[in-house]
Amino acid sequence: MKGRTCPLSGRCGGCDFIGMRYEDELLEKYLEEERYLSSFCRVSPILPSPRITGYRCKVQAACGTSDGRLVTGIYRRGSHRLIPVRSCPLEDPRAQEAIGTVRMAANRFRLSAYDEDRGTGDLRHILVRCSSHYDEGLVALIASSLDLRCADDIAALLHQRHSWVRSVSVIANAGKTSLVIPPGAEERVVYGRGFIMDRLNGLDFRISASSFYQVNPVQAGRLYTIAMNMASLRGSDHVIDAYCGTGTIALMAAASGAGHVLGIEANADAISDAEANARLNGIGNAEFVTADASKHMRKLAREGRRCSVLFLDPPRSGASEEFLAAAGRMEPERIVYISCNPETLGRDLRYIRRFLPYRTVGIQPVDLFPGSAHIETAVLLHRCS
């Protein structure tokens, strides 16, 4: 495949491989995987993404000021300098169209960009999420106050221009934070239900502005299929999905033949989404708990609880030693570790090899983020008899 091009690639810093042939990008990523993981077992060839442009279904645009007008874009990597962006080759084109409408409306209604240092202004970010399966999307206006001026007019304009926009909301964020949506942020739904639907591997998922949901859903579905195949689920299996988010893996495991699934997640809003998604799909053999994964695993281990299959999909920092030790005490027959960071994954696999009776039997890299250096990896570990 030919290399993708972007006139902003030298300024924004958001893409590592945007000017490279996709075959060469995949080779670079595979070599990175081998560097950290080849000592554990053979690393399988990387699974390419079927789409290398326009795949990002979640887009966050920061707001700033240029020549007295509100502009939108992305902060240059490692800085707070806004680079105005009107199109990005990696983002769903619908998202940029909606952002353009909000930007035009904001200038028409004389809304100002929020200044974090001064604590003044109206609009801070624009977040757009698009369904990969259904023709619908949502727009969240991240503002200094829930009482954003002209929010109703902006929602009406969005609905008029983009029939696929099914929900518009205002989310308050006036804090000194780099987070677009801080935990517990208040939200006011201006139009629609406050969420949209997407379908992944035969299941429907409710997605709100703050939901965790993979930005490349089609490729994420392939990653989760690999994870389910690795787990070889049976009706007698008691499954734990740690760091379960909105329940994508847990619910797929429950629907794939597992006897019972427990999902653990620290974010209460994500757990609410997971429980709603279980009801939506008629799944009764999954339950969810709001808790820190490491602490809850240690609690379960102290109680003598066991599981036969453990899924974990931790943040980029990886799993803690306390989590891994507790997991070992619960004696799962199979562990499926999904990681977005081969370096911390390699660290955790070294800990497991040294202290726990497990061997690595499969490593499958999956490219979820074409153009970016990030890569997902599914690893299967078996308990030694």
Catalytic residues: 340
Three-class DSSP labels, the chain: CCCCCCCCHHHHCCCCCCCCCHHHHHHHHHHHHHHHHCCCCCECCCECCCCCCCCECEEEEEEEEECCEEEEEEECCCCCCEEECCCCCCECHHHHHHHHHHHHHHHHCCCCECECCCCECCEEEEEEEECCCCCCEEEEEEECCCCCCCHHHHHHHHHHHCCCEEEEEEEECCCCCCCCCCCCCCEEEEECCCEEEEEECCEEEEEECCCCCCCCHHHHHHHHHHHHHHHCCCCCCEEEEECCCCCHHHHHHHHCCCCEEEEEECCHHHHHHHHHHHHHCCCCCEEEEECCHHHHHHHHHHCCCCCCEEEECCCCCCCCHHHHHHHHHCCCCEEEEEECCHHHHHHHHHHHHHHCCEEEEEEEEECCCCCCCCCEEEEEEEECC
